[in-house]
Amino acid sequence: MFKPMLPEQHQTIISCLQAAVASILPEANPAILLERPKVAAHGDIATNVAMQLAKPAKRNPRELAQAIVDALMANPLATALVAGAELAGPGFINLRLTHAARIAVLTAISEQGPSFGRASRNAQKVLVEFVSANPTGPLHVGHARQAALGDALCRLFDASGFEVSREFYYNDAGNQIHNLALSVQARGQGLSPEDEAYPAEGYKGDYIADIAKDFLTKATVSASDGEPVLASGDLADLDNVRRFAVAYLRREQDFDLQAFGLAFDHYYLESSLYTSGRVEQTVQQLVASGHTYESEGALWLRTTELGTGDDKDRVMRKSEGGYTYFVPDIAYHVTKWQRGYTRAINIQGSDHHGTVARVRAGLQALALGIPADYPAYILHKMVKVMRGGVEVKISKRAGSYVTLQDLIEWVGRDAVRFFLIQRRADTEFVFDVDLARSKSEENPVYYIQYAHARICSMLQQAGLSAQQLGAADSTLLVAPTEIALMQRLAEFAALVSQAALDLSPHLVAFWLRDCAADFHAWYNAERVLVDDVALKQARLRLADATRQVIANGLALLGVSAPERM
Q: Is residue 181 part of a domain?
A: no
405: phi then psi, degrees, rounded to nearest 5: -60, -40
Average pLDDT over every residue of 337-342: 96
pLDDT of residue 397: 54
pLDDT of residue 375: 97
pLDDT of residue 129: 98
pLDDT of residue 39: 82
pLDDT of residue 395: 57
Average pLDDT over every residue of 384-412: 85
CATH number where 515 lies: 1.10.730.10
Residues 425 and 466 in one domain: no
Q: Is residue 548 part of a domain?
A: yes
Distance CA 300, CA 141 (A): 35
Q: How far out from the chain centre does Cα 563 lie? A: 25
Check whether 55 has a pLDDT greater than 90: yes
- Minimal CA–CA distance to 522: which of 541, 494, 548? 541
CATH number where 54 lies: 3.30.1360.70
Distance CA 361, CA 374 (A): 10
Average pLDDT over every residue of 420-435: 95
pLDDT of residue 399: 63
Strands 429-432 and 383-387: parallel
Q: Which residues pair with 255 in a beta bridge?
A: none
pLDDT tens digits along 240-287? 999 999 999 999 999 999 999 999 999 999 999 999 999 999 999 999
CB-neighbour burial class of residue 245 (10 A; exposed 0-12, middle 13-18, buried 19+)? buried
Quote the percentage of the chain above a pLDDT of 90.
88
Average pLDDT over every residue of 346-358: 92
Residues 483 and 423 in one domain: no
Distance CA 328, CA 322 (A): 11
Tell me how many domains the chain contains: 3
| Averaged confidence pLDDT in the chain | 94
Residues 391 and 497 in one domain: no
pLDDT tens digits along 81-103? 999 999 999 999 999 999 999 99
Average pLDDT over every residue of 433-450: 97
pLDDT of residue 464: 87
CA distances from 291 to 260, 299, 303, 325, 326 (A): 44, 11, 8, 18, 15
Quote the pTM value.
Answer: 0.93
Residue span of the structural domain in which 401 resides: 383-437
pLDDT tens digits along 201-229? 999 888 999 999 999 999 999 876 678 99
Check whether 475 has a pLDDT greater than 70: yes
pLDDT range class, residue 175, cuts 50, 70, 90: confident
- Domain final residue, candidates 97, 119, 154: 97
Residues 395 and 491 in one domain: no
